[in-house]
A and B are shown apart, each in its own frame.
Chain A
Amino acid sequence: DAGVTQSPTHLIKTRGQQVTLRCSPKSGHDTVSWYQQALGQGPQFIFQYYEEEERQRGNFPDRFSGHQFPNYSSELNVNALLLGDSALYLCASSYERYTDTQYFGPGTRLTVL
């Protein structure tokens, strides 16, 4: 049973560029949440996708957008990258009808130069 997978593992971008991060949820899960984790901090909620729609959003600017596909996989897009966007981006999946529990992937380490 595959867990949550994310790609790429690491990414280096320069200011102003755009980036797309990908997530495949745990088998049987239909809800995907994205979090940003700065060094030495706890994860901060970006948004959650369910039934291919953004259901809930945290305090992040519109530069952060996402998408969920019919197979429940998801993408996180960040436009006009800033130095402060450097962080570990975590994807978590859960099963809407069954549990509150969110299972995390290994994350994508984004470095903005």
Chain B
Amino acid sequence: GESVGLHLPTLSVQEGDNSIINCAYSNSASDYFIWYKQESGKGPQFIIDIRSNMDKRQGQRVTVLLNKTVKHLSLQIAATQPGDSAVYFCAEKKNYGGSQGNLIFGKGTKLSVKP
């Protein structure tokens, strides 16, 4: 079936370095993508989202890139901090209009930041 997947299950970076977390999606009908951060014992926290009519979107220290040609999504975190250590999920959704529609999640990438 169609699904969202991640290339790397774990990522270890040095504090201050930039982090890049990758995600592949296979549903060509998906037109909304979102990144969540989940710390241990907590619910997923919204980081940034992007629609399929864009290829880049920036937030505070984060950038999401969307390559529809190869169905690839990435999350870039600048100047990674220890507080960024968590599991990161990408998710996709088909736009039915409004908020209808479920998010399809990948398995997640664990980011570990070394001080």
Interface-lining segment among A12-20, A42-50, A67-75:
A42-50
**Contact of A50 with B108 at beta-carbon distance under 8 Å, contacts A42-B89, A43-B44, A104-B43 already known:** no
**Contact of A106 with B43 at beta-carbon distance under 8 Å, contacts A31-B99, A42-B107, A42-B108 already known:** yes
Does A1 make an interface contact (CB < 8 A)?
A: no
Residue of A nearest to B99 (CB): A94
Chain A 56-78: CB-based contact to B (< 8 A → 1; otherwise 0):
10100000000000000000000
Q: Which of B36, B91, B95, B98 is A97 in contact with, Cβ under 8 Å?
A: B98
A58 and B43 alpha carbons, distance in the complex (Å): 20
* Chain A residues within 8 Å of B, Cβ to Cβ: 4, 6, 31, 33, 35, 40-45, 48, 50, 55-56, 58, 90, 92, 94-107
Q: Which of A55, A58, A103 is B46 in contact with, Cβ under 8 Å?
A: A103
Contact across chains for A90 and B44 when beta carbons are under 8 A apart: yes
Chain A residues positioned under 8 Å from B25 (CB to CB): none
Chain A residues positioned under 8 Å from B28 (CB to CB): none
CB distance from A6 to the nearest CB of B (A): 8
Contact across chains for A43 and B100 when beta carbons are under 8 A apart: no
Apart from A31-B98, A44-B105, A96-B100, 17 more pairs, CB < 8 Å: A4-B43, A33-B102, A41-B107, A42-B105, A42-B106, A43-B105, A45-B103, A92-B103, A96-B99, A97-B98, A100-B32, A100-B34, A100-B101, A102-B46, A102-B103, A104-B46, A107-B43
A102 and B102 alpha carbons, distance in the complex (Å): 9
Interface size band for B: 20 to 34
Nearest first, the 3 closest Cβ-Cβ pairs linking A and B are A42-B105, A45-B102, A94-B99
Chain B 37-59: CB-based contact to A (< 8 A → 1; otherwise 0):
00000111110010000000000
A105 and B100 alpha carbons, distance in the complex (Å): 18
CB distance from A106 to the nearest CB of B (A): 5
CB distance from B60 to the nearest CB of A (A): 16
Chain B residues positioned under 8 Å from A94 (CB to CB): 99
A43 and B91 alpha carbons, distance in the complex (Å): 10
Residue contacts A-B, CB under 8 angstroms, 9 given: A41-B108, A42-B107, A43-B44, A43-B105, A45-B103, A50-B100, A55-B100, A94-B99, A106-B42
